[in-house]
């Protein structure tokens, strides 16, 4: 394997907790191939009590310690993992483990982790008359291990798709990126240059669960880039968010929407202070360059660079206006849709970023729907009464951003629009 360092590096996907605001929530040498005669699955009887195993024909092991994850569900987890674009590095992933409960240190925000562990592999050497028939050359290799936590809370492969994509992103990038992609030399790495991270002094080479360190870790940024550029369709889930106007009339509604890292259309990457992966010139080709078979790589790139650049140049521009009803103000953020017939129409998600640098989803707009969203207060006149519904977001200042998610998985972001409600007329 290209990287022969012996240290073990643990990297984890840290999910965001719901907003805590009032009313919140609405190459190298390859391994010997697995024998084609290997059984696709190990019988559960061969496993210790409370442990379930599934082995693919390629030799990848899926191990579960959760009763709800066994049999066919482990096979489905393996198939979901394979839907992430991959190459030779897949042979160096040893296993995926599904565990009950929280991460061992009790960190509730950590839903999954990736680790490289040193293993000794025996390679048969046949030199009749010189070596014993069963002689094997012992080789030390680093093999990857993905661990999924809180498995009892997840029902299907789609529920672990985001975790798998992100953690496999660690495996992919550590395998393929050059030796400078390391805690001490990361600024010398090709990836650091291609990603243009030199303009962000907060970028670090650490592995830490503290949020500000974690989201600026070059290893986390790289794994998030992999998720965006090469991750499986199921790992890019679209959540339908409703604005305060759409919630009007409901007797039980959540004034403010929340998002986690599982809501890809609202938080396509953990660090929203840097450009999205598809909007960094040269980054997608860089990732594609590590996949095998150039013809296949071309097929994996349905959106050539010039097309993405052209779409970026035509990104919608957000605008803001105010309407007043019964002395209440509602703030309307709107935009012109992508021209029909120009390309496949995206799903729009308007989000706001507050002064605490937290993302607040505002509204999801599907193709054909009106491209506008409302924040503030909306009113409804019924039986001589005026009912009003408020989200409380029309205070202070918010940065509005529009994410465009295309059917092929590409996601782009508009320029931000800053609205200062305290000075608004």
Residue-wise pLDDT for 385-404, tens only, equals: 888 899 999 999 999 999 99
SS3 22: coil
Residue 274, token pair as written in the block: 């840097």
Q: Which residue has the higher pLDDT, 87 or 303?
A: 87
Is pLDDT of 208 > 50?
yes
Distance CA 318, CA 400 (A): 8
DSSP state of 92: G
pLDDT reported for residue 44: 42
Q: 304-307: long-range contacts at Cβ-Cβ below 8 A with a sequence spacing of 24 or more?
A: 305/281, 307/343
**Any idea which of 73-77, 197-201, 281-285, 304-308 has the lowest mean pLDDT?**
304-308
Tell me how crowded residue 10 is: count the other CB atoms within 10 A of its CB: 15
The model's pLDDT over 274-291, given as tens digits with 9 standing for 90+, comes to 999 999 999 999 999 999
pLDDT reported for residue 25: 31
pLDDT reported for residue 20: 30
Is pLDDT of 3 > 50?
no
The model's pTM is 0.84
Percentages helix, strand, coil for the chain (3-state, rounded to 5) are 25, 25, 50
Alpha helices in 278-380 (DSSP H): 283-288, 294-299, 305-313
- Nearest 5°: the CA angle 44, 46, 51 is 55
* Pairing between β-strand 397-405 and β-strand 411-413 as defined by DSSP bridges: antiparallel
Distance of CA 76 to the CA centre of its chain: 19
Split at pLDDT 50, 70, 90, the class of 341 is low
The model's pLDDT over 343-366, given as tens digits with 9 standing for 90+, comes to 589 999 999 999 999 999 999 999
Query: Does 237-277+293-425 carry CATH code 3.40.50.1950?
Result: no
Distance CA 142, CA 140 (A): 7
pLDDT reported for residue 134: 79
Nearest Cα to Cα of residue 414 among 321, 320, 313: 313
Split at pLDDT 50, 70, 90, the class of 326 is confident
Residue 370 gets the label, from left (phi > 0), alpha (psi -120 to 50) or beta, of beta
Is pLDDT of 113 > 70?
yes
CATH 2.60.40.10 domain position(s) in the chain: 237-277+293-425
Distance CA 46, CA 10 (A): 30
- Angle, to 10 degrees, between the axis of helix 161-176 and the axis of helix 72-82? 50
Length in residues, the chain: 425
Q: Please state the rounded mean pLDDT for residues 211-230.
A: 96
Residue 35, token pair as written in the block: 């024998």
SS3 392: coil
Distance CA 371, CA 390 (A): 21
CA-CA-CA-CA torsion sign (11, 12, 13, 15): negative
Burial classification of residue 423, based on how many CB atoms lie within 10 Å of its CB (0-12 exposed, 13-18 middle, 19 or more buried) = exposed
pLDDT reported for residue 311: 66
pLDDT reported for residue 310: 67
Q: How large a percentage of the chain has pLDDT more than 70?
A: 82
SS3 325: strand
Question: If residue 283 lies in a helix (H) or strand (E), which one and from where to where?
Answer: helix 283-288
Residue 141, token pair as written in the block: 């290799």
Is pLDDT of 242 > 50?
yes
DSSP state of 369: S
Tokens 């992966």, residue?
277
């Amino acid at each position: 394997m290209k990287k022969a360092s012996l240290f073990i590096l643990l990297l984890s996907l840290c999910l965001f907790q719901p907003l805590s605001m009032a009313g919140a929530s609405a190459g190298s040498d390859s391994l010997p191939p697995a024998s084609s005669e290997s059984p696709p699955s190990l019988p559960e009887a061969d496993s210790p009590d409370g442990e379930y195993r599934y082995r693919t024909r390629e030799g990848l092991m899926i191990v579960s310690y959760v009763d709800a994850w066994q049999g066919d569900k482990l096979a489905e987890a393996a198939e979901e993992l394979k839907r992430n674009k991959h190459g030779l590095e897949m042979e160096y992933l040893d296993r995926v483990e599904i565990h009950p409960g929280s991460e061992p240190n009790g960190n509730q925000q950590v839903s999954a982790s990736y680790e490289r562990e040193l293993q000794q592999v025996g390679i048969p050497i046949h030199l009749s008359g010189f070596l014993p028939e069963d002689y094997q050359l012992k080789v030390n290799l680093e093999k990857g291990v993905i661990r999924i936590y809180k498995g009892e809370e997840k029902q299907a492969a789609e529920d672990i798709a985001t975790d798998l994509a992100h953690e496999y992103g660690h495996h992919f990038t550590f395998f393929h990126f050059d030796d400078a992609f390391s805690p001490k030399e990361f600024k010398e790495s090709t990836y650091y240059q291609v990603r243009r991270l030199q303009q962000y002094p907060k970028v670090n080479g650490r592995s830490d669960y503290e949020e500000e360190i974690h989201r600026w870790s070059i290893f986390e940024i790289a794994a998030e880039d992999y998720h965006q550029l090469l991750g499986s369709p199921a790992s890019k889930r679209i959540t339908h968010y409703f604005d305060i106007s759409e919630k009007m009339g409901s007797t039980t509604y959540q004034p403010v929407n929340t998002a986690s890292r599982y809501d890809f259309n609202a938080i396509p990457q953990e660090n929203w202070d840097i450009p999205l992966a598809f909007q960094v010139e040269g980054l997608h080709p860089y990732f594609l360059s590590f996949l095998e078979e150039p013809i296949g790589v071309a097929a994996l790139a349905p959106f050539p660079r010039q097309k993405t650049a052209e779409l970026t140049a035509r990104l919608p521009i957000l605008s803001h206006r105010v309407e007043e009803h019964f002395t209440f103000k509602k703030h309307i953020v709107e935009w012109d849709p992508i021209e029909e017939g120009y390309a496949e129409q995206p799903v729009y998600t308007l989000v706001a970023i507050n002064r605490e640098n937290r993302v607040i989803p505002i509204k999801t707009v599907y193709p054909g729907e009106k491209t506008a969203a409302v924040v503030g207060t909306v009113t409804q006149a019924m039986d001589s009464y005026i009912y009003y519904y408020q989200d409380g977001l029309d205070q202070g200042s918010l940065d509005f951003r529009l994410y465009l998610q295309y059917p092929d998985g590409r996601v782009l972001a508009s320029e931000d629009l800053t609205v200062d409600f305290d000075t608004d007329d």
